[in-house]
A and B are shown apart, each in its own frame.
Chain A
């Protein structure tokens, strides 16, 4: 049963890779050349998926002001990975469990004490992270730790790729099917309640999606850098557009393009893939920060000082 499922999963992945390679082979040879290797094909598919899922969710993270929560969950995943390794379980089960537990713990501290959410997060995620570091220092090599912390997309295998694919499909379908519920919850949770929506379910549902995405991105960009993928694409899109639907699409595209470009640069210059991906996405943010049509720093300066005749932004 599991064997057939696994076989089917690998068949789906092979099919996706084949479809992807049709496009890649249309590119100039210098660009397409690295992707003739099997491991680069797997890395490319993983990067596209991780870039898309993180990019999509990053818009919600930005609008809900959950950057720190993303940071907290991503760190809290580490002890789960270590414990799963000890027990011989698939790493994502442990990672998901401790990630979700920590976000619940943050809520418990917040509700039952006078401590505010930022301190509750800072407290919980560093504790979880410390536990992870202590366990791992006993059981694994430092290379292994480095891979969890910073990712190693070039070494991605089928199970991890499968997990990323499942997470991607799940997140995309939830965002499409419950677009209305998510929008209204993030924009005005009180009004969401007045229409009888269960905001607790939406709240924890969104946290679970976030945790799943972080776990699925673990091997690509790693625990530390996944936060960048959950914040920067959304922040960049936020500077460029005025509609939620376009923001979601744009942040997804920025996530994908950054991941693919970062992977390519990592291969070309033989540098860490996670770092390269994050540097690329930060580059996109800087461009938007400076040159966004309405909100860019340089654009606004130019409008004030040069384009006196240009119409003012309608504010």
Chain B
């Protein structure tokens, strides 16, 4: 009980002086940020603000130019190796013609844990995975209401179903921190409600859920904590205060000013 309270006190993510660049363009510029554990956290900001870059840096696929990242108070790579960071990409990032079934993809979320098993079991093919892993994958599919599609090839899925399969893969991992890149884009109302219900339940079970979103109204309604970024952290805190129309439009205007001369779509302005 005490240990649990102490865990809640340690932030899920602590970022200090983080800069990430593509070639010469800075995508994140000296970001300092602490994300509280056990909460549903919305990350918002205009296009090109570095939201996906932030997630990819936490996941470890982008090397920061400078700065430090701690996850659950520990070195980020150690947390990755122990399977505590689950990731859900935008669905365009994945090749849906890949010859895999829905069940295969969700089982990918267990590969990290399978590799932690001792001795020769570490090398077992996924078809030989123990029931523990199969059950976790099946439960994750049930949670997103896709268990009837477990044997379907992924190329036959609709957009909303693809999102749900990627979410199930992240759930199957049973990680303490979930990083989700725009889980609500391109899904119908029913899928959106289902996904939000699943995410709230994950939060209620004590996990930290970080989602990049453009849905400001939804973030105000469901999130416990919000981060507004535009290459730097514009603000972090109570979603209802932070994601006011005034704040959003100021951020979008800033982005517009700093992007002047480049092509820029002020989609946040439209929402706000």
Contact = CB atoms under 8 A, between A and B. Distances in A.
Contacts of A197: 112, 115
A308 interface: no
A114 B24 CA distance: 11
B61 to A, nearest CB: 4
Given A179-B126, A184-B108, A187-B108, A194 B99 contact: no
B99 A247 contact: yes
B247 to A, nearest CB: 30
Give chain B's interface residue range (CB within 8 Å of chain A): 35 or more
A189 B94 CA distance: 9
A91 interface: no
A197 B116 CA distance: 11
A203 B221 CA distance: 43
Contacts of B105: 187
A213 B126 CA distance: 25
Contact of A315 (B82, B127, B156): B156
A187 B89 contact: no
A181 to B, nearest CB: 8
Contact of A194 (B59, B82, B123, B126): B59
Interface string A231-256: 00000001001111111000000000
B126 A180 contact: yes
B98 A187 contact: yes
Contact of A196 (B23, B77, B98, B127): B77
Contacts of A29: none
B108 A244 contact: no
A45 B236 CA distance: 66
Contact of B93 (A188, A238, A315): A188
Contacts of B153: 242-243
B99 A188 contact: no
Contacts of B83: 195-196
A186 to B, nearest CB: 8
Given A194-B86, A315-B156, A189 B61 contact: yes
Contacts of A242: 99, 101, 153, 155
B169 A193 contact: no
A176 interface: yes
A243 B99 contact: yes
A244 B99 contact: yes
Interface string B103-129: 011001001101100000001011100
Interface of B: 23, 56, 59-61, 77, 80-83, 85-87, 89, 93-95, 98-101, 104-105, 108, 111-112, 114-115, 123, 125-127, 153, 155-156, 169, 173, 179
- Which 5 pairs between the two chains have the least Cβ-Cβ distance? A195-B112, A196-B81, A196-B80, A194-B87, A242-B153
